Amino acid sequence: MNLKRRFEHILKHHSWFLLCFMKIGSSFFRFVGLFVKTDPNLILFTSFSGKSYNDSPRAIYEYFQTIPEGKKFKYVWAFEHPEKFPEVTCKKIKIDTWQYFITTLRAKCWVTSVNIERGLKYKKKGTFYLNTWHGPAINLMGNAVGCRKDFCWDHIDRFCISGNYERSIIERDFCVRPANLLPSGLPRNDELYHVTSEKIQNLRAKYNVPAGKKVILYAPTWRENDSICTDNPLIPPINLQKWQEKLSSNYVLFVRAHVNTRKLLNVKYNDFVRNASDTPFVNDFLLISDFLISDYSSIIMDFSILERPIVCFGYDYEQYVQARGNFYFDLDQEIPSGICRTEEAVLNYILHCDYAKEVEKVKLFKNAHIEFGAQATQRCVGEILNALREGETR
């Protein structure tokens, strides 16, 4: 795996090498594809580049298992470590292997939240490609990042968006064709539109939240760096002992690391600070949380669907902007609470905010960015079925 990470590091930081890799690799697999027969009933799934079994591809796959027409298809999931996902009962393969690339050429349909071709471009004319993506745009992405101009996703057949403000961003920075944008919302978020008090109570019991206590979820995004380290640990500048002293009488704090971060350092779990990183069901924690503390992660968009207060803990805002570039909108102006740059500001917000007023601010934020949702899974599956029935090609 270290060799793979080193190769990815070289690709990312040497544009000439990336260009050569893309041209040679794409041409090679287009040639190989001439000799690989497409299976009209094979659907290939990946999520977060094979790191997990979750997100919108999981929602789509599991929906397929519940409908009569789904029984005729063959399903394959690709993972970095297939053995870590015993709950996936269909065929599993290791991503970035020869078997994986041959499977991409055999599959009639691709479903992913990031990418299938691993930086290449060799999709067959008759393959249907659905990219759910993994969150509405906040950070600069694709060709807007640094000097990158290699994103050209004009061959993606459907790309999910959650609001009209994303249209120009996805068209410009990923070169997705306007007609191929799917105004559906994200399948992973459908359940956030269908919340019941019974569901919340069951989840509170599942995660042992004491009666009468409120829940805070802290879910920061990852920070890119120039290291080839596989873990990319994050060290938030917080004193959890202080948090416990000020909040533990009324709150429980769940902490969730990003899939690319793997772990947060200086975090010791106890009855107040709980580990929310080891389960794929992030929606469970969104549903039971009274507050979300994040930073520049699209999880704030997901949480806004629930219309509950959001805290943007941007302790490294200036450094982050300098390293990665600005954002698609002014966080201080549009995120309901603005940017809290210190842990004292975060704690003060939690302890003293007017909850009802903050809810109203979140509603305005949601309405400006999240316009589509609630039936995204059915919409995506419908697009796949229509394409496979009609033999839609590009």
Kindly tell me if the per-residue pLDDT of 226 is higher than 50: no
Note the pLDDT of residue 18.
73
CA 265 to chain centre: 22
Three-state SS for the chain is: CHHHHHHHHHHHHCHHHHHHHHHHHHHHHHHHHCCCCCEEEEEEEECHHHCCCCHHHHHHHHHHCCCHHHHHCEEEEEECCHHHCCCCCCEEEECCCHHHHHHHHHEEEEEECCCCCCCCCCCCCCCEEEECCCCCCCECCHHHCCCCCCCCCCCCCEEEECCHHHHHHHHHHHCCCHHHEEECCCHHHHHHHCCCHHHHHHHHHHCCCCCCCEEEEECCCCCCCCCCCCCCCECCCCCHHHHHHHHCCCEEEEECCCCCCCCECCCCCCCCEEECCCCCCHHHHHHHCCEEEECCCCHHHHHHCCCCCEEEECCCHHHHHHHHCCECCCHHHHCCCCEECCHHHHHHHHHHCCHHHHHHHHHHHHHHHCCCCCCHHHHHHHHHHHHHHHCCCC
Residue-wise pLDDT for 268-277, tens only, equals 889 999 999 8
Contacts (Cβ under 8 Å, ≥6 apart) of 31 = none
The pLDDT of 201-208, averaged and rounded, is: 98
The pLDDT of 327-345, averaged and rounded, is: 93
Confidence label for 69 from pLDDT (cuts 50, 70 and 90): very high
Compute the mean pLDDT over every residue in the chain, rounded to the nearest whole number.
90
Backbone angles phi, psi at 297, to 5 degrees: -85, 145
Architecture of domain 2-189+374-390: 3-Layer(aba) Sandwich (3.40)
Confidence label for 205 from pLDDT (cuts 50, 70 and 90): very high
Q: Do domains 2-189+374-390 and 195-369 have the same CATH topology?
A: yes
CB atoms closer than 10 angstroms to residue 277 = 19
Contact (Cβ atoms closer than 8 angstroms) between residue 75 and residue 91: yes
Note the pLDDT of residue 261.
56
Q: Which CATH class is domain 195-369?
A: alpha beta
Q: Which residue has the tokens 């544009």?
A: 15
Domain ranges of the chain: 2-189+374-390, 195-369
Residue-wise pLDDT for 233-247, tens only, equals 667 788 999 999 999
pTM for the complete prediction? 0.91
Kindly report which listed range (5-14, 59-68, 81-90) carries the lowest average pLDDT score. Answer: 5-14
Note the pLDDT of residue 245.
96
CA dihedral defined by 34, 36, 38, 39, rounded to 10 degrees? 170
Note the pLDDT of residue 227.
47
Q: Which residue has the tokens 């979140």?
A: 362
Residue-wise pLDDT for 256-290, tens only, equals 986 655 566 567 889 999 999 888 899 999 999 99
Note the pLDDT of residue 146.
75
CA 120 to chain centre: 21
Higher pLDDT, 2 or 211: 211
